[in-house]
Each structure stands twice: as structure tokens, then as C-alpha cells.
Amino acid sequence: MLIPLIGVGAAALASAAGYHTMGPTSQFYGRNFSGLARGSRQLALTYDDGPNDPHTGHLLDVLAKHDVRATFFLIGRYVAQRPDLVRRHLEFGNALGNHTWDHPNLIFSTPPSLQEQLEKTSKAIADATGAAPKLFRPPFGGRRPGVFQTARAMGMTPIMWNVTCYDWSDKTNETIERHAFRQIKGGNVILLHDGGHKEFGADRSWTVKATDNLIRKYKDEGYSFVTIPEMMEHRRL
């Protein structure tokens, strides 16, 4: 039985490495924040891959209607293209984070290219808003040793998530909402997208609609929606 056992061990090892490099709540390759203890009445909506026209604007209208603020992890090249959309976040009180310049999987990035990805993006956000971001989220959740340390050395806290809504592939608001309902237990960081990393202008109308419904449902149940910096003030260390 030795050979099958080795096979099982190797498979487990490979899958563990896969989880640590891509798994959203693994702490193995550096400390990161992915939510509060289960049962908290706070929820944090987070949106990646923007800014994006017109869907970021539509999303801001929905958030404003509910008086909710959220956290946006921005792609640097889109920020440089549309700094006006990024400035709108400031009017709404949303929190902003660095999501790299052009969305590479950082598992395969060299230290100099990682540094450049983060620096260019933080500069673009600072140019647009007057302040460099204090949060960072890796594209695809991918990281290896050194990625989070580099972000921290640049003054950014790595932020992951613990609710995945699969809105990059689902094309109805109902399926996006179902993924959220199944995973939300309180204290969650919810991953959604207001843009697409492949091209500017990606259709996120289903995400906008799902956001409207999620906020209505969970506010009715007594939850409050907060930004990541607000949620981190309540974490149990």
C-alpha cells in the first residue's frame, strides 16, 4: 500500500500548495485580512477590476441609494485612463485599494515586476485622489512568498475575502445572489467585480443588480455594511 499512500500524500501536498497560493483565506504566505469572526453583524462589499464605465457609476448610484459604502480594488491602467471615475469614490466615502497595474497572476511575477506593478498603480491612484492606497488585493488571489511583504513594505495591508460570488462567470443576478446567500454567515468580506481585467467596459450589470438585492436583504436582517478599514477596526486580534 506504500505507493498509493505516497500518491495520496503528494496529491494532498500539491493541493495544500495550491490553496496557499490561491486560497482566499490562507495565511500561509503572509498575514492578510479576510473578515471578522463568524456571527458579526458587519458585512463588507468589495469590488475588483474597476474603474469601469458605465457600471462603476451605476453601482455607485445603488450604493448611494442605500447609504452604503464599499471598498474598491482598482486596476492601475484603468485608473490612469479614467481618473474622473476614481475621484467619484471620494464623494461617496468608499475605500480604495491597489489591484496591480494590469492584473498579472503574481505567483509568476519577479520581485522587480511586482514592485513596478504596485508602485505604478499607487501613483495613479494618488494622482487621481491625492492619497496613495493603504489596501492591496492580489489579482486572482494569487501570491507566493514575498508578495504580501512587498505590499506591506509599501504601506498596504493585504486584503482577501471569504465570500466568492463568481460574478466574473455568472450572467444572472440570481446566481450571484445564491452564491452569496450560501456563504454569508456574518463578518464577511464579499468578493464582487465592477470591472473586468481583460478589457475596460466589461458588462457588470448583473453585479449591480445583485448588489441592490443583497443590500436590501441583509439590511432587513439587521446587518450593517462597512468598508474594509471600518471592519478592520473591529477585528479580534
CA-based torsion, 115, 134, 57, 234: positive or negative: positive
Dist CA 112 CA 200 (whole Å)? 26
* Cβ-based nearer residue to Zn ion, 49 or 194: 49
Query: Is 194 one of the binding residues for Zn ion (CB under 5 A)?
Result: no
**By CB under 5 A, which span of 21-29, 109-117, 195-203, 225-233 interacts with Zn ion?**
195-203
- Inter-residue contact 224 to 41 (CB < 8 Å): yes
Nearest CA to 198 out of 168, 164, 166 is that of 168
Candidates 48, 167, 194, 212; catalytic one: 48
User: Is there a catalytic annotation at residue 48?
Assistant: yes
* Beta carbon of residue 103, minimum distance to Zn ion (angstroms, whole number): 6
* Cβ-based nearer residue to Zn ion, 139 or 218: 139
Dist CA 18 CA 101 (whole Å)? 24
CA-based torsion, 140, 141, 146, 149: positive or negative: positive
* Cβ-based nearer residue to Zn ion, 30 or 195: 195
* Beta carbon of residue 28, minimum distance to Zn ion (angstroms, whole number): 21
Q: Mind giving me the DSSP string for 98-160?
A: E--SS---GGG--HHHHHHHHHHHHHHHHHHHSS--SEE--GGG---TTHHHHHHHTT-EEB-
Binders of Zn ion among 102-141, rule CB under 5 A? Answer: 139
* Cβ-based nearer residue to Zn ion, 97 or 139: 139
Nearest CA to 134 out of 116, 149, 152 is that of 152
Query: Is 212 one of the binding residues for Zn ion (CB under 5 A)?
Result: no
Q: How many residues bind Zn ion (CB under 5 A)?
A: 4
Candidates 55, 58, 193, 197; catalytic one: 193
Query: Is 49 one of the binding residues for Zn ion (CB under 5 A)?
Result: yes
What residues act catalytically? 48, 193
Contact residues for Zn ion, defined by CB under 5 A: 48-49, 139, 197
